């Protein structure tokens, strides 16, 4: 039976090409090209695929059961941080303080949204109408507010509040106040970390210092147990005070320490160790110092603002060099004035830098801009400029179709 009868293509006659013996030998010894590496062998590509798993409580635990490689990737702290960031979307910003704490919804073109009126904030009117609250930050779907009591000088209570569910935790910190030493020299700051997101348990980290005793203290509260941990202390430079700005890198929280020199308070939430990192050289006439996470793999970094919205970037290099010393490395200059096309003499003020998200808020004559320092893209969120002595913080939550944060009134908190 011929090949045509079998339905196969006829054999094409081969031509013999005359080769010298040496050429033929080399041709025979030539090895075939290796197969390209499988995409699954590339950790970076696999991480990008796993990053897009649905944000369900079971997604990462189930992925970790596939094989040891998947388990190594999905349990890596840097991957977990990226996974959270990938599935959390900005809903708006809280800003102001005192009796003028406000929220404004932000329409982000990267995410589909529904009209804000489809959603209502769970308001604690009796709380916001009776007390004056100071904004300390937002993280993992919760807002941290502080109440300074009747005198208005010393923080005596913190509120950890979920605006979407109305969940509220009031944390009494009177046990940490020394009526002799703390009334004049202690500055209490708070931060929240939600291990499982906005609906799970959280940890509240309290940091404060005794201004005239050169000591900083840290204590961690667990909502799961309802118990405060041990107070951990460390020596700080004279006249240092804990600032509002803090960033979370893996399982370590960093607070900025202001004083004659800039230092960083390092809180390892795993070991409960506290240390102080000396900051980079900073000119006395700076226009603001902010913590961020622009270093490689979301590592600790610092931005120092100068005139005309020039931002000097410093990266904390934790890999020991030849002499075994960690150090700050200059990461270049970010020219925000050119990015925003600001005119000479135009009003400009950096209100805040949300270090976890690397988002900076710049107030100008033409409105308030939100600048993403990673992509160098910006968006005007207010048509008019805002001048405030307090910070501005983006509020983020897991994206769900049909959910948006509305503009409304919260008693003494105005939402517009």
What is the per-residue pLDDT across 259-307, written as a single tens digit (0 to 9) for each? 888 999 999 999 989 999 999 988 888 888 999 999 887 899 999 998 7
Q: What would the pLDDT profile of 7-35 be if each residue is shown by its tens digit?
A: 433 444 444 444 444 444 444 444 445 54
> Lowest mean pLDDT: which of 102-106, 173-177, 269-273, 405-409?
405-409
Comparing CA positions, the residue from 239, 241, 234 lying closest to residue 215 is 234
Please classify residue 7 by burial: count the beta carbons closer than 10 Å to its beta carbon, then call 0-12 exposed, 13-18 middle and 19+ buried: exposed
Comparing CA positions, the residue from 392, 318, 314, 401 lying closest to residue 359 is 392
Mean pLDDT in residue range 82-106: 70
Q: Helix, strand, coil: what percent of the chain each, to 5?
A: 15, 40, 45
Phi, psi of 93 (to 5 degrees): -135, 140
Q: Which residue is associated with the tokens 């349990």?
A: 75
Mean pLDDT in residue range 231-257: 91
d(C-alpha 240, C-alpha 236), whole Å: 7
Q: Within 13 Å and on the Cβ side, how many CA atoms surround 145?
A: 28
Which tops the pLDDT comparison, 357 or 177?
357
d(C-alpha 104, C-alpha 114), whole Å: 15
pTM of the model: 0.74
Report residue 6's pLDDT band, with 50, 70 and 90 as the boundaries.
very low
Residue 127 has pLDDT above 90, yes or no: no
CA distances from 45 to 51, 73, 196 (A): 10, 11, 25
d(C-alpha 261, C-alpha 275), whole Å: 16
Where do the domains of the chain lie, and which CATH numbers do they carry?
Answer: 54-87 (no CATH), 88-395 (2.120.10.30)
Share of the chain above pLDDT 70, in %: 69
Report residue 89's pLDDT band, with 50, 70 and 90 as the boundaries.
low
Comparing CA positions, the residue from 21, 2, 23 lying closest to residue 11 is 2
Comparing CA positions, the residue from 291, 255, 278, 283 lying closest to residue 325 is 278
Comparing CA positions, the residue from 196, 244, 243, 245 lying closest to residue 222 is 196
Amino acid 194: pLDDT: 82
The side-by-side arrangement of strands in the sheet containing 409-410 is 392-398, 88-95, 101-105, 413-415, 409-410
d(C-alpha 201, C-alpha 225), whole Å: 9
> Lowest mean pLDDT: which of 141-145, 234-238, 402-406?
402-406
Which residues are CB-contacts of 163 (< 8 A; sequence separation ≥ 6)? 103, 121, 122, 143, 395, 405
Residue 351 has pLDDT above 50, yes or no: yes
> Lowest mean pLDDT: which of 191-195, 251-255, 262-266?
191-195
Report residue 320's pLDDT band, with 50, 70 and 90 as the boundaries.
low
Amino acid 275: pLDDT: 95
């Amino acid at each position: 039976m011929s090949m045509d009868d079998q339905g196969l293509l006829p054999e094409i006659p081969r031509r013999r090409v005359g080769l010298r013996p040496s050429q033929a030998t080399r041709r025979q010894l030539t090895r075939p090209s290796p197969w390209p590496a499988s995409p699954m062998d590339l950790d970076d590509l696999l991480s990008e695929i796993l990053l897009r798993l649905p944000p369900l409580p079971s997604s990462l635990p189930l992925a970790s059961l596939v094989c040891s490689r998947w388990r190594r990737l999905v349990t890596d702290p840097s991957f977990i941080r990226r996974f959270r960031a990938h599935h959390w979307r900005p809903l708006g910003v809280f800003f102001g303080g005192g009796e003028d704490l406000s929220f404004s919804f932000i329409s982000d073109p990267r995410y589909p949204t529904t009209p804000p009126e489809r959603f209502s904030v769970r308001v604690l009117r009796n709380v916001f109408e009776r007390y004056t609250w100071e904004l300390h930050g937002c993280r993992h779907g919760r807002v941290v507010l502080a109440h300074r009591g009747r005198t208005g000088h010393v923080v005596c209570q913190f509120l950890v509040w979920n605006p979407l569910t109305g969940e509220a935790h009031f944390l009494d910190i009177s046990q940490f106040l020394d009526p002799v030493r703390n009334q004049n020299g202690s500055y209490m700051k708070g931060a929240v970390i939600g291990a499982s997101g906005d609906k799970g348990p959280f940890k509240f980290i309290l940091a404060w210092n005794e201004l005239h005793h050169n000591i900083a203290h840290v204590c961690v509260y667990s909502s799961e147990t309802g118990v405060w941990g041990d107070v951990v202390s460390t020596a700080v430079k004279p006249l240092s005070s804990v600032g509002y700005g803090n960033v979370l890198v893996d399982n370590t929280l960093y607070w900025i320490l202001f004083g004659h020199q800039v230092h960083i308070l390092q809180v390892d939430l795993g070991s409960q160790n506290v240390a102080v990192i000396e900051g980079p050289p900073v000119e006395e006439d700076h226009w603001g110092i902010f913590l961020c996470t622009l270093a490689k793999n979301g590592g600790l970094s610092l931005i120092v603002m100068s005139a005309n919205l020039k931002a000097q970037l410093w990266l904390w290099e934790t890999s020991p060099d030849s002499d075994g010393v960690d150090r700050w490395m200059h990461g270049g200059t970010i020219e925000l004035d050119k990015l925003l096309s600001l005119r000479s003499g135009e009003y400009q003020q950096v209100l805040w830098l949300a270090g976890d998200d690397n988002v900076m808020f710049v107030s100008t004559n033409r409105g308030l801009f939100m600048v993403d320092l990673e992509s160098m893209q910006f968006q005007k969120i207010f048509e008019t400029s805002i001048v405030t002595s307090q910070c501005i913080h983006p509020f983020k939550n897991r994206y769900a179709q049909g959910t948006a944060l509305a503009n409304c009134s919260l008693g003494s908190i105005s939402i517009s």
